[in-house]
Each structure stands twice: as C-alpha cells, then as structure tokens.
A = this chain, B = another copy of it.
Amino acid sequence: MTAEIICVGTELLLGDILNTNAQFLAQQLAQFGIPHYYQTVVGDNPARLQQVLAIACDRSEILIFTGGLGPTPDDLTTETIADFFGVPLEERPEILADIADKYNRRGREMTPSNRKQALIPQGAEILPNQWGTAPGIIWQPRPNLTILTFPGVPFEMQRMWQATAVPYLKSQGWGKEIIASRMLKFWGIAEAALAEKVAPFLNLSNPTVAPYASMGEVKLRVSAKAASAELADEMISPVAAQLQQIAGLDYYGADDDSLASVVGKLLQAANETLSVAESCTGGGLGSAIASVPGSSIYFQGGIISYDNQVKISLLGVNPDDLAQYGAVSETVAKQMAAGVRSLLSTTWGLSITGIAGPGGGTETKPVGLVYIGLAGPNGLVESCEHRFNPLQDRSLIRHFSTCSALDRLRRYLLS
C-alpha cells in the first residue's frame, strides 16, 4: 500500500506560492510509516488533472489531494475526480447548512457560489473543515483505492489532516511502526559549531540526529523508528539528554517550545512578572510574549517607545543621555528597561533599542546594531550589544532582536 500526493493549483505552477502542503503531508506519511514515492503538482485544469489521476491510480492506493476545493469557478478538484470515476455529484445539505452558519456568525450572507462546495461524489464521506468553508472528502471509488481531498490553504489543510485523516489512518491499522521525532532547539550557537560539538551523534542510525538551521535558530532532530510512540520516545530520550548536556545553556527547549514559552514557564514557576519597552521592534517583543496562551499571568504589558519623546515622558529616559549617547545606546537601553519595570511594577523589565534598517545607519552605529536592556530585582540593570548582519533585512533584524531579548532573560532566569 503506497500513498501519493497530488497538489492542484495554477498558483503552484506559476511559482506564486511555495508548496508547503507537500512537505507537511510527506512528514505525516513518514511518521505513519506509509510508503510514498511520488508527488505531483498540476494546475486547475480538468483534462490534465484527469491524466495525473489516471497515472496515480495505477501506482498508488491512497491519493491525497490538496487545493481546488474553493467556491470559485477555477476550483475543480472534486468534480474532476467524480467525473473521472463516472460518479455523479450530490448536494449535501449538512455542508450547505454549515457554510451558511459560518457566514451568519460573521454577520455575512452566503453567496450562491458557495453552493458548489456542498457538492460531493455519491458515496463519499465528508471531511469536515471547521476552519474554512471548503470541506474535503474521503472516498473509495473502487476497491483498494482511497481518495482524500483537502483545501489548499495550509492552516486549514493541516488542521483538517490532524482532525480527520489521522484518526482514519489509525483506524486502518497504519502507524504500527512509526517514526517519532523530537526537535531540540538552540539559541546563541551557530549550526556548524553545534554540529562539531555533537559530531559523533550525527552518524547514529536509530535514533538518527540531523541538524537544521533557520532564522538564527539551530535545531537537532532526533528521530526513532519503533513499534509505538512510547518505545520511540524511550530511544529518543537518552540521546536528547546527552545532546542537551553537551549544548548547556544554548539548548532552550524542544518541539512546541518557543523562547517566549520557555521564558513564560520560568516566570510563572518563580511567580514573577515581566514588562517590556520597545523601540525598533515596535511591539514585536510584547507580541511574542503574548503569543503564549495564558501569558497574562506574568506579562503585564509595556511601552512601545518608538518616538524619543515617549522614551522621556513615559519611561523616564534622561533627555541629556538621549542627546549624548543617542537612542541606540547601552545607557538608553538600561533606562528603558528600568523605566518600564518601575512604571508597570514588574519583577523584570526588558528593553530593545536598535537600528533595524534599511535606513538610519551611520558609520559608528550601523544597521543591525541593537541593545537589549534588562532590569530586575536587587538593583540589576544591564545591557548587552548585538551587531547583526546589516545586509539582513529589517524583519530579520527585528526577529533576531526579539529572540535575543527573550534569550537574555531566559539565561538570567536559569542562572
């Protein structure tokens, strides 16, 4: 039994979007131990989609489609598949009611074109979509052939996959030998340096250890193949523990952990609170902290002191220091952190001031120069300097700044 992924969408052929759906589904199939040898991308064109379908039916038993389930005339996946197998479409009132209900809740009216989304092949089951209007189907048009369809929007597709396909695959006996992974996450060390430190681990065969790097973060993926998630976990845990020990404080968490969630757990455990003062990130640090559900327990809020006047009037930054050292300086970063800590009466005050570019850099203060300030108990007020690559773009420098600030506090909370 093998599966095949077929992504439908002219936007993929035009290169408008990256095919993240294929990667997600490939990872899922690998996890369930379902062999998968081909992926195909085809446009919103019935004749070519039927040709792809004919080829896929001959070599695979599970066909997973994404895309082409929307309400517009170029969304043709469902009707093309039904047509290929010579099965008529039927309107399913429960889908229609569900779409109408979604529109009602947003105070809008369903449009006639949505009606088409309620048409599915006779005998197919509905894969409900709680996150958008397009439901998918699961259908056995003939023995030993199962078709699953999902919308092309990645967040809808991924959530639907978890809610509908995963239980189905398990019920069919898949996932008996599974590949389970743990993603270990590191901040403050380069990929090559980490890879050298853990070099012997990179040659293991089960579990395997593979390094990844993106956006300043380095990851090690530890994957084990075993009869159950529990057994795989038992194989992963000792290796993960050793890697964690080698990396020391550069290791910050695993899987769904983020720097913000790890800092949040530490603050909550210590019964401490946090406020932020942000300049170049403009709210990005606060937003990262508040992205963690339940963060209101320890996050009080902060000041976005984009303008210097706000630094003076609200954060109590000394105007003379501002004039002498400039807004992007150790001194101002410290005063911002101490100022917001005092203003919001929190245990910790964390600040960022820097030059995110592309404009605003000078020879002595180039784009990428960022100061992180931290104020805390027992009179702690400190600041550290970062010099990010000025050729990196504004959003990346702001992202690095936010992560570096969270990482700074994390290391303090751990020490």
Contacts and interface: CB of A to CB of B under 8 A. Distances in A.
A148 B48 CA distance: 23
Interface string A372-414: 0000000000000001110111111010000000000000000
A267 interface: no
A71 B190 CA distance: 11
A17 B27 CA distance: 10
B286 A306 contact: yes
A18 interface: yes
Given A38-B42, A293-B358, A304-B304, A23 B30 contact: no
A325 interface: no
Nearest to A221: B16
Contact of A359 (B110, B293, B394, B398): B293
Given A48-B37, A131-B389, A202-B73, A290 B302 contact: no
Contacts of A102: 389
Contact of A18 (B18, B43, B281): B18
B303 A307 contact: no
A291 interface: yes
Contacts of A294: 359
A196 B113 contact: yes
A39 B12 contact: yes
A204 interface: no
A206 interface: no
Contact of A40 (B29, B39, B304): B39
A215 to B, nearest CB: 8
A321 interface: no
Interface in A1-59: 10-20, 22-30, 36-43, 45, 48, 51-52, 55, 59
Most buried by B among A10, A281, A284, A398: A284
Given A48-B38, A153-B214, A284-B283, A392 B19 contact: no
A166 to B, nearest CB: 15
B11 A15 contact: no
Nearest to A19: B19
A38 B52 contact: yes
Given A13-B36, A282-B283, 16 more contacts: A14-B27, A14-B30, A14-B181, A15-B29, A18-B23, A51-B59, A130-B391, A131-B391, A283-B284, A283-B286, A287-B287, A293-B357, A293-B358, A301-B307, A302-B303, A307-B344
24 contacts: A12-B39, A13-B30, A14-B27, A15-B22, A15-B24, A19-B22, A38-B40, A72-B191, A102-B389, A108-B190, A111-B193, A133-B192, A278-B283, A278-B286, A281-B287, A282-B295, A283-B287, A283-B288, A286-B306, A287-B398, A291-B395, A300-B306, A301-B305, A301-B310
Interface of A: 10-20, 22-30, 36-43, 45, 48, 51-52, 55, 59, 70-74, 102-103, 105-108, 110-114, 130-131, 133, 153, 155, 179, 181, 190-193, 195-196, 202, 210-215, 221, 223, 276, 278, 280-291, 293-296, 299-307, 309-310, 314, 343-344, 357-359, 387-389, 391-396, 398
